[in-house]
Structure 1
């Protein structure tokens, strides 16, 4: 079996296939396997998968286990709401909420793949096309070289070439842009809590902060909507515009901006959900199947959920890859489509501009208790397939 893409989703898919006794070759376009970006949040729906694959002990060496998710007003600094992540949370969902550097997560997955006799890793493979005929599924790279497998999993991200096998749709720009970075703990404000994931929210903007790598680094993400958005252009969402948008914010937010790496901007895209990912012995996984906005911190989590469901279906259906893939997508498409659309909605809520909407939002948030899990059960309580060989 061939897996296109060696990111978090592709490596997790390889581990899931290995559990089902399937040999895979992971084709990664970069010269080396690695992960870009900064921090990543993993809810219990994701740490459950890491536990299934036997990786949580290693992950715990790098991760931070926050005590709360906190929403604050980016201008007044007022705490609007919080979600306790302590014992009651872990008892309810079975697994912890963690934050860590994306490269640390990727390294643990990569090391597990390297240790598996079922996984082969190949770099420098920019894939151009996928086709299926009587010989099998054929993947061709830009050099004209071909790989032939019994099945293909496209895990090649937002700009997936594999997705073209199913849909001619294009990524949708939200007109928001993100700037990310980590800073040494010595540079962090003494008022910042090392036990919280903090999201500062305001009209058309937000900032996320939390510690990573055993609390040695502090991860920060600055996000705002550009009023200068231009399609097919990079001349929008600039650092200069960021300074204007965040002018007058709380001093802690202004301090965060002073440490953000401004050389790289990350335009934020998603796609509309599609109702089919499978054709013959080809399917999609992770962002190639369901790219979503980051507002629920679920992109990586949903890719891990994909991998555990795929493992179960491969165990159940053996070498009938088409049936395995169809059963996999039947389970996953409704779930991921809901997360995609809810991420958009949550983005509209936290970025509200209208004063009445802001007042309504804040009133609702301030009335909920930190141990009220009613709003998160649908997201974190997804427990369909987390034990080996249970289908």
Structure 2
């Protein structure tokens, strides 16, 4: 027999975005339930980057001190040529950067960030965390929303947030679209610092770029681990093979990186190969809400990782949602409407620019490469104007 539970607010998905949303909603004084389909709350993957816009959100949650127990604060973002080994451009992340945006740039293990948010949720008596909850249906009922799970439990909520990721079921209430395969795959993982070669830069985030490929490296977890991610466009990709593992293989990985400089070749030899991540995004949409149901994070705006903003934008969503709920009190539909009005244009811009930045980094065209490298060469490491739009969301004042 189906058990019907009456709850004020319900979040579908217990990832970084879902937990951040729970904290933000709880701060408005509302009780919130989080449904996670896995047997326990957790994250997979390796490192992630947190721009000052994300650090501002974590500060709003009072979590900067605990974040500092895990995070590494790099001195520079560096782009290198993966073939020649030449440094192309840098972005200084020092004092001038912090003063401009109000917060530092941080890198950390994805599981560490998730754990910090999870512990904060566990300590909040307004938040209820539930596992083994596979959602089978979501229905708007005008003044409420009904969520049903595979274990025959049901939840009648005043409002529902779909934070159920790239393959969101909640999104299907709004649009019958599908994720867009970029034809790129990633292999990622961490290795102990003791295994890192002498060429690794412990104070930098380094991106080695080449035609249809790149490698990203940086330390995480108090510099105890070194995070590495290789990404390449698979020339074996075909639409009919998309759901299989017959493209973007480890054999192709080695073949594609074989012409790279010795530092990159050495790094690739350490890459974990037991799991591949095909890279997807979706086209931006102009509505996230139906009645008492709205979207957040990757369910609303999944993006390619080239601007390192997936988790950052989900956390921005969470803060804006909480602000609008406070502003409009019990008018949930108005709060959802203004929430998406504030967020849709910004997240669409990040989605679209992530694609463009990826194309620019991965270009194989000789003329385009020369022009790109010339622009990189001319810019100064403390010229922050190209990233003001991205990092300045919560900046005190951008001169």
Give the TM bin, normalised by the shorter chain. over 0.9
What is the match of residue 389 of structure 1? Answer: none
Q: Is the 8 A contact 2:284 2:348 kept in 1?
A: yes
Q: Distance in 2 between matches of 1:279 and 1:367?
A: 48
Give SS of 1:381's match.
helix
What is the match of residue 51 of structure 2? Answer: 43
What is the match of residue 59 of structure 1? Answer: 67
5 Å-filtered alignment, 1:234-273, equals 234-273=245-284
Among 304, 309, 321, the residue aligned to 1:298: 309
Among 339, 344, 347, the residue aligned to 2:350: 339
Give SS of 1:382's match.
helix
Q: Distance in 1 between matches of 2:342 and 2:264?
A: 41
Q: Distance in 1 between matches of 2:62 and 2:141?
A: 37
Q: Distance in 2 between matches of 1:26 and 1:87?
A: 38
Among 372, 392, 397, the residue aligned to 1:361: 372
Length-normalised TM-score, structure 1: 0.97
Structure 2 CA distance for partners of 1:45 and 1:134, relative to 1, 3 Å:
closer
5 Å-filtered alignment, 1:73-112, equals 73-112=81-120
5 Å-filtered alignment, 1:141-220, equals 141-220=149-228
Q: Distance in 1 between matches of 2:126 and 2:305?
A: 32
What is the match of residue 277 of structure 1? Answer: 288
Per the TM alignment, residue 319 of structure 1 is displaced from its structure 2 partner at its CA by 1.6
Q: Distance in 2 between matches of 1:384 and 1:367?
A: 26
Q: Distance in 1 between matches of 2:319 and 2:388?
A: 19
Per the TM alignment, residue 233 of structure 1 is displaced from its structure 2 partner at its CA by 2.5
Q: Distance in 2 between matches of 1:350 and 1:283?
A: 34
What is the match of residue 388 of structure 1? Answer: none
Give SS of 2:133's match.
coil
Per the TM alignment, residue 384 of structure 1 is displaced from its structure 2 partner at its CA by 8.3
Q: Distance in 1 between matches of 2:142 and 2:365?
A: 58
Residue ranges of structure 1 left out of the alignment (5+ in a row) = 386-391
Give SS of 2:214's match.
strand
Post-superposition Cα deviations, 1:140-171, rounded to whole Å, max 9, x if no partner, equal 11233211111000000000000001110000
Q: Is the 8 A contact 2:142 2:291 kept in 1?
A: no
Q: Distance in 1 between matches of 2:366 and 2:341?
A: 41
Per the TM alignment, residue 133 of structure 1 is displaced from its structure 2 partner at its CA by 1.9
Structure 2 CA distance for partners of 1:165 and 1:206, relative to 1, 3 Å:
same
Pair 1:319 & 2:330 matched: yes
Length-normalised TM-score, structure 2: 0.95
Q: Is the 8 A contact 2:102 2:395 kept in 1?
A: no
Give SS of 1:22's match.
coil
Q: Distance in 2 between matches of 1:242 and 1:70?
A: 23
Pair 1:72 & 2:83 matched: no
What is the match of residue 32 of structure 1? Answer: 40
Give SS of 1:117's match.
coil
Post-superposition Cα deviations, 1:236-282, rounded to whole Å, max 9, x if no partner, equal 00000000000121111111111111110000000000000011111
Give SS of 1:151's match.
strand
Structure 2 CA distance for partners of 1:164 and 1:134, relative to 1, 3 Å:
closer
Give SS of 1:228's match.
coil
What is the match of residue 373 of structure 1? Answer: 384
Structure 2 CA distance for partners of 1:384 and 1:128, relative to 1, 3 Å:
farther
Q: Distance in 2 between matches of 1:148 and 1:322?
A: 16
Per the TM alignment, residue 134 of structure 1 is displaced from its structure 2 partner at its CA by 5.9
Per the TM alignment, residue 42 of structure 1 is displaced from its structure 2 partner at its CA by 0.3
